[in-house]
């Protein structure tokens, strides 16, 4: 029997920005060590359907792209599959070339066939030389006539290790339009639904998905596969925990596929992740990469890890992201051909085997932030690894147009990172976590951002109160954090164009030369800058005229922590460009919060061993199915 591992597909949307992710009809050259297009621009008109396309006479088209190359190294490393068959269907005179790459991205040809007429051409491939990385892909060259490409798939006769289906758990809060789009595309993907048992839509908002005009039609298309669950807002962790709990009660399921609400999904990715999960030699979490929903060729997240020393998340090649596939496709990006191992994957899309949930429990009651990383670390300790799988991805709004470190989410960033560190860090007193946390406070204080500091201090006080607070304030921590913003005028975004907001000195303009001159201070210069700034803000009151009117204006990208502290007040553009915030130095708040920062971090460091033991002891109960069921019952 033959099993389909991967289908060759074209984009659902007729969006030219998406073409480089699916098909590459470009000719490339290397100029000054950079890949540059030479000719043959992509044409949407040649995409005829989900699996078919026209290849114009005399043109060469490569399927060595993000969504259509076969991630051979991952299949070799994580599964027992060693024999794969590539079948390519064409109509017309053509040449089919099959290539592979190694972990350095070097290309090697594996096979070549000349074909004509309506044919299916098969290539038998062996997965035995991809330990460090590498893909397999094919190119098609049309001869004197146009060629019709009608589909291709990668198959194996190797039987899967497990054959259970997956439930999909979508957690949503007031994003009905996105959810309708996702449900509609799933309803139109029968090959995906073949491996799906249930779609649990956990609706925690007041803009209900099932109240949308399009919902009856999509619900009718999905039938019993779709189940809508309503509950109060318990955050992402509460919604995903509900999906986990519901899936555990479904016989014949081996996985739950967690899916965020504000995304655009590639349905084939969902199918691929489930199939890959069926083949892994041990039950494995299969994570999706994240592209930018507002700049769709840009890859923003893949292969993420938690650094042990500061206990902080990052991508393996943080400095290389985002990667723009419209500027350098897969074949021109050697870094992308390496097999990269991950510590965790974001829950924008992540397949979790039920065996892992039964062994380690459900999500930590964290509301948002760090629940995905903490779960993956917990699963890894029990022998369930996480794979960040190439060719499995979706589009999600990236963090480029927002700054959630200074809004109500600052509480959860701080609280949940420390809680996860208390549970999982193997270094004395969390390594440099507390030092880093204290530095974050100092930067906010020097930048006159007092609201996030107040939230971070509340987070530490809650941590010090013991692990029981996490479930106790699951439904109340977010509204309380948002309510606190009323006490901090800098949180107001001034959007009214009728209100003239002007800085006394005008806009601070930083040329490239000045950017370099005033770059992030380091070493002794950093210590002197920090000490002198803290002393200045402690002893010197702001000038009255600077309090009455902002002293200077900054663009968001120029408003760094080593620039703002030089002024008494500043007008700063909001991250999304929707307005401006006014930051004004407040000596009384600064003094009180600086002392609180020192005292709270000193106490947290002193009590770390005791707190760590308490949080580790409490983790099994906090994440247990029984505890979550009580939470759902109490919230209903």
602: pLDDT strictly greater than 70: yes
Question: What predicted TM-score, i.e. pTM, was given to this entire model?
Answer: 0.93
Tell me how far apart the alpha carbons of residues 367 and 237 are, in angstroms, rounded to a whole number. Answer: 5
Which of 303, 522, 466 is CA-nearest to residue 393?
Answer: 303
Tell me how far apart the alpha carbons of residues 513 and 254 are, in angstroms, rounded to a whole number. Answer: 57
Tell me how far apart the alpha carbons of residues 24 and 451 are, in angstroms, rounded to a whole number. Answer: 48
The tokens describing 524, both together, are 């002794």
518: pLDDT strictly greater than 90: no
Among 61-70, 253-262, 323-332, the least confident range: 323-332
Looking at residue 476, its pLDDT comes to 96
The SS3 assignment for 241 reads: helix
Write the CATH number of the domain with boundaries 165-302+342-396: 3.90.550.60
Mean pLDDT, to the nearest integer, of 58-87?
Answer: 97
Mean pLDDT, to the nearest integer, of 401-412?
Answer: 88
Surface-to-core class of residue 439, CB atoms within 10 Å of its CB (0-12 exposed, 13-18 middle, 19+ buried): middle
pLDDT digits (tens, 9 = 90+) for 311-327: 999 999 888 889 999 98
Mean of the per-residue pLDDT values of the chain: 92
Looking at residue 142, its pLDDT comes to 94
Looking at residue 29, its pLDDT comes to 39
> Which class would CATH give 3-156?
alpha beta
Q: Name the pLDDT band for 36 (thresholds 50, 70, 90).
A: very low
Q: Which residues of 339-360 are buried (b: 16+ CB within 10 A; e: fewer)?
A: bbebbbbbbbbbbbbbbbbeeb
Looking at residue 508, its pLDDT comes to 66
Mean pLDDT, to the nearest integer, of 444-468?
Answer: 97
Contacts of 469 (CB under 8 A, 6+ apart): 462, 463
Among 21-30, 173-182, 469-478, the least confident range: 21-30
* Whether the domain at 3-156 and the domain at 165-302+342-396 fall into the same CATH topology: yes
Report the share of the chain in percent with pLDDT over 70. Answer: 93
Contacts of 213 (CB under 8 A, 6+ apart): none
Looking at residue 519, its pLDDT comes to 60
pLDDT digits (tens, 9 = 90+) for 538-590: 999 999 998 988 989 988 888 888 888 999 999 998 887 788 999 999 999 99
Tell me how far apart the alpha carbons of residues 101 and 110 are, in angstroms, rounded to a whole number. Answer: 10
Q: Name the pLDDT band for 42 (thresholds 50, 70, 90).
A: low
Q: What backbone phi and psi angles, to 5 degrees, belong to 566?
A: -75, -10
485: pLDDT strictly greater than 50: yes
Q: Name the pLDDT band for 507 (thresholds 50, 70, 90).
A: low
**Cα separation values, 321 from 290, 411, 560, Å:** 11, 26, 20
**Which H/E stretch holds residue 254?**
strand 253-259
Looking at residue 319, its pLDDT comes to 87
Strand partners, 627: none
pLDDT digits (tens, 9 = 90+) for 219-229: 999 999 999 99
Looking at residue 509, its pLDDT comes to 55
Looking at residue 495, its pLDDT comes to 84
Which of 242, 249, 261, 179 is CA-nearest to residue 214?
Answer: 179
Q: Which residues of 499-520 are buried (b: 16+ CB within 10 A; e: fewer)?
A: eeeebeeeebebeeeeeeeeee
Long-range interactions of 531-539: CB distance < 8 A, separation 24+: 533/446, 533/565, 534/442, 534/445, 534/446, 534/594, 536/565, 537/445, 537/446, 537/565, 537/585, 537/587, 537/590, 538/587, 538/590, 538/591, 538/594
Looking at residue 558, its pLDDT comes to 85
Tell me how far apart the alpha carbons of residues 470 and 458 are, in angstroms, rounded to a whole number. Answer: 13
Looking at residue 636, its pLDDT comes to 77
Q: Name the pLDDT band for 401 (thresholds 50, 70, 90).
A: low
Spell out the alpha helix ranges (H) of 433-497: 433-446, 450-465, 469-472, 477-484
The tokens describing 377, both together, are 């670390």
Tell me how far apart the alpha carbons of residues 584 and 580 are, in angstroms, rounded to a whole number. Answer: 13
Cα angle at 105 between 132 and 324, to 5 degrees?
115
Q: Name the pLDDT band for 523 (thresholds 50, 70, 90).
A: confident
39: pLDDT strictly greater than 80: no
Sign of CA dihedral 84, 89, 93, 94: negative
The SS3 assignment for 153 reads: strand
Cβ pair 303, 342 in contact under 8 A: yes
173: pLDDT strictly greater than 80: yes
- Residues known to be catalytic: 372
Which of 464, 94, 32, 416 is CA-nearest to residue 236?
Answer: 416
Which of 269, 273, 227, 280 is CA-nearest to residue 249?
Answer: 227
Q: Which residue has the tokens 């596939």?
A: 325
Cβ pair 56, 46 in contact under 8 A: yes
**Cα separation values, 425 from 8, 381, 418, 542, Å:** 42, 12, 10, 42
Q: Name the pLDDT band for 159 (thresholds 50, 70, 90).
A: very high
Which of 337, 326, 342, 493 is CA-nearest to residue 407?
Answer: 493
Delimit the domains of the chain by residue range. Answer: 3-156, 165-302+342-396, 410-589
516: pLDDT strictly greater than 50: no
Looking at residue 44, its pLDDT comes to 81
| C-alpha Rg value of the chain to the nearest Å | 27
């Amino acid at each position: 029997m033959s099993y389909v591992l991967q289908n060759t597909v074209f984009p659902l949307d007729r969006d030219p920005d998406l073409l480089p992710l699916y098909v590459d009809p470009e000719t490339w050259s290397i100029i000054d060590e950079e890949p540059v297009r030479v000719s043959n621009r992509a044409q949407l008109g040649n995409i005829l359907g989900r699996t078919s396309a026209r290849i114009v006479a005399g043109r060469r088209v490569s399927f060595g792209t993000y969504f259509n190359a076969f991630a051979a190294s991952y299949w070799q490393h994580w599964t027992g599959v060693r024999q794969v068959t590539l079948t390519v269907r064409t109509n017309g005179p053509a040449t089919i070339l099959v290539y592979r790459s190694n972990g350095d991205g070097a290309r090697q040809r594996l096979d070549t066939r000349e074909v004509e007429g309506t044919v299916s051409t098969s290539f038998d491939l062996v997965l035995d030389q991809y330990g460090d990385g590498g893909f397999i892909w094919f190119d098609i060259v049309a001869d004197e006539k146009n060629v019709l490409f009608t589909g291709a798939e990668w198959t194996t006769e190797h039987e899967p290790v497990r054959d259970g289906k997956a439930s999909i758990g979508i957690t949503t809060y007031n994003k009905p339009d996105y959810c309708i789009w996702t449900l509609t595309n799933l309803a139109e993907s029968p090959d995906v639904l073949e491996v799906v048992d249930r779609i649990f839509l956990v609706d925690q908002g007041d803009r209900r998905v099932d109240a949308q005009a399009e919902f009856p039609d999509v619900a009718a298309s999905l039938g019993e596969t779709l189940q809508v669950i309503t509950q109060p807002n318990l955050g992402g962790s509460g919604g995903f925990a509900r999906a986990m709990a519901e899936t555990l009660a479904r016989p014949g399921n081996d996985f739950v596929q967690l899916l965020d609400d504000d995304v655009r999904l590639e349905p084939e990715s969902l199918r691929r992740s489930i199939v890959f999960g069926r083949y892994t030699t041990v039950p494995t979490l299969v994570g999706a990469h994240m592209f930018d929903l507002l700049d769709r060729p840009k890859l923003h997240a893949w292969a993420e890890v938690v650094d042990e020393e500061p206990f902080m998340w990052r991508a393996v090649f943080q400095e290389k992201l985002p990667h723009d596939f419209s500027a350098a496709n897969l074949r021109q990006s050697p870094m992308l051909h390496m097999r990269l191992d991950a510590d965790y994957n974001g829950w924008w899309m992540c397949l979790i085997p039920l065996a892992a949930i039964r062994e380690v429990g459900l999500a930590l009651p964290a509301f948002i932030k760090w629940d995905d990383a903490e779960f993956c670390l917990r699963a890894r300790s029990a022998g369930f690894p996480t794979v960040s799988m190439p060719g499995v991805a979706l589009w999600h709004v990236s963090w480029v147009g927002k700054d959630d470190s200074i809004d109500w989410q600052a509480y959860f960033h701080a609280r949940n990172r420390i809680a996860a560190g208390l549970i999982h860090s193997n270094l004395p007193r969390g390594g440099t976590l507390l030092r880093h946390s204290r530095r974050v406070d100092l930067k906010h204080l020097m930048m006159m951002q007092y609201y996030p500091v107040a939230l971070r201090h509340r987070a530490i006080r809650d941590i010090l109160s013991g692990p029981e607070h996490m479930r106790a304030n699951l439904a109340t921590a977010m509204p309380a954090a948002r309510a606190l913003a009323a006490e901090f005028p800098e949180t107001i975004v001034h959007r009214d164009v009728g209100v003239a907001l002007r800085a006394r000195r005008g806009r601070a303009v930083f040329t490239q030369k000045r950017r370099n001159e005033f770059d992030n201070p380091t070493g002794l210069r950093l210590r002197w800058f920090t000490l002198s700034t803290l002393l200045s803000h402690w002893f010197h009151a702001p000038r009255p005229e600077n309090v009455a009117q902002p002293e200077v204006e900054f663009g968001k990208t120029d408003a760094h922590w080593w620039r703002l502290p030089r002024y008494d007040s500043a007008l700063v553009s909001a991250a999304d460009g929707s307005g401006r915030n006014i930051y004004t130095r407040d000596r009384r708040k600064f003094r009180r919060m600086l002392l609180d920062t020192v005292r709270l971090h000193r106490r947290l460091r002193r009590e770390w061993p005791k707190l760590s033991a308490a949080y580790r002891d409490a983790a099994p109960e906090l994440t247990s199915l029984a505890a979550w069921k009580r939470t759902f019952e109490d919230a209903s």
